[in-house]
Chain A
Amino acid sequence: DAMVIQNPRYQVTQFGKPVTLSCSQTLNHNVMYWYQQKSSQAPKLLFHYYDKDFNNEADTPDNFQSRRPNTSFCFLDIRSPGLGDAAMYLCATSGPRQGENIQYFGAGTRLSVL
């Protein structure tokens, strides 16, 4: 089945140690999103790609970076994780045309920072 796949499902890192989360999709969607969700809070959009065009939310910390090497893959890099970055990170896709706003989510990666 076509889907959005996130790896790993659980990630433990140390304070300040860079970490990369990955997302792949077989839906051939042109828009990919990264969200951060903390307990009992709404998913918070960090950034999204429309094809290769990168769109950063104004309040996304510089500590968070993203790469999209091709249509299928997107990565979230946290350069120096702090304790406050412990959260569920969700990847989502939509498409194939901008305006078709149904977003399909991966299973998420739960990040712990020690």
Chain B
Amino acid sequence: QKEVEQNSGPLSVPEGAIASLNCTYSDRGSQSFFWYRQYSGKSPELIMSIYSNGDKEDGRFTAQLNKASQYVSLLIRDSQPSDSATYLCAVTGYSTLTFGKGTMLLVSP
């Protein structure tokens, strides 16, 4: 059974700090990796996708992928209170997504 594991948190960081969110997955055949942000009571919103080993940067967000270690992470630089949300890691091979339960991030002013 395909599994995606995340620390449920909450991860608390002060405003302006770097938040580091981690995710591990069980299926070595996974090809595509995503980070979704979900505010309370809202639907998931895609913030990053990554397909190959290494880093991918988009604004304040950096996704990191290490397929050998089956590990994907998300760094949020200069964290803002508006970044407070649950971050879902999602992984897929060639068909459907498997989501982790998410990590709650709290950014304090």
Residues of A within 8 A of B (CB): 33, 40-43, 45, 48, 88, 90, 98-99, 101-108, 110
Q: Is B14 positioned at the interface, with any CB of A under 8 Å from its CB?
A: no
Q: Is the interface of A mostly helix, strand, loop or mixed?
A: loop
Compute how far the CA of A45 lies from the CA of B95 in the bound complex, rounded to whole angstroms. Answer: 12
How many residues of chain B have a CB within 8 Å of chain A? 23
A106 touching B97 by the CB < 8 A rule?
A: no
A107 touching B43 by the CB < 8 A rule?
A: yes
A104-B96 CB under 8 A given contacts A41-B101, A42-B102:
no
Compute how far the CA of A9 lies from the CA of B105 in the bound complex, rounded to whole angstroms. Answer: 26
Contacting A at CB under 8 A, from B37-52, are 41-46, 49
28 contacts between A and B (CB under 8 A): A33-B96, A40-B8, A40-B102, A42-B100, A42-B101, A43-B88, A43-B99, A45-B96, A45-B97, A48-B96, A88-B41, A90-B43, A99-B94, A101-B31, A101-B32, A101-B34, A101-B92, A101-B94, A102-B34, A102-B46, A103-B34, A103-B90, A103-B97, A105-B43, A105-B44, A106-B43, A107-B43, A110-B41
Compute how far the CA of A84 lies from the CA of B46 in the bound complex, rounded to whole angstroms. Answer: 28
Compute how far the CA of A99 lies from the CA of B92 in the bound complex, rounded to whole angstroms. Answer: 9
Most A C-beta atoms less than 10 A away, residue of B4, B43, B88: B43
Chain B contacts for A98, CB-based, 8 A: 94-95
User: Which residue on chain A has the smallest CB distance to residue B101?
Assistant: A42
Compute how far the CA of A48 lies from the CA of B95 in the bound complex, rounded to whole angstroms. Answer: 10
Compute how far the CA of A98 lies from the CA of B92 in the bound complex, rounded to whole angstroms. Answer: 12
Q: A45-B97, A102-B34 are in contact. List 6 more A-B contacts (CB 8 A).
A: A42-B88, A43-B99, A88-B41, A90-B43, A102-B46, A103-B46
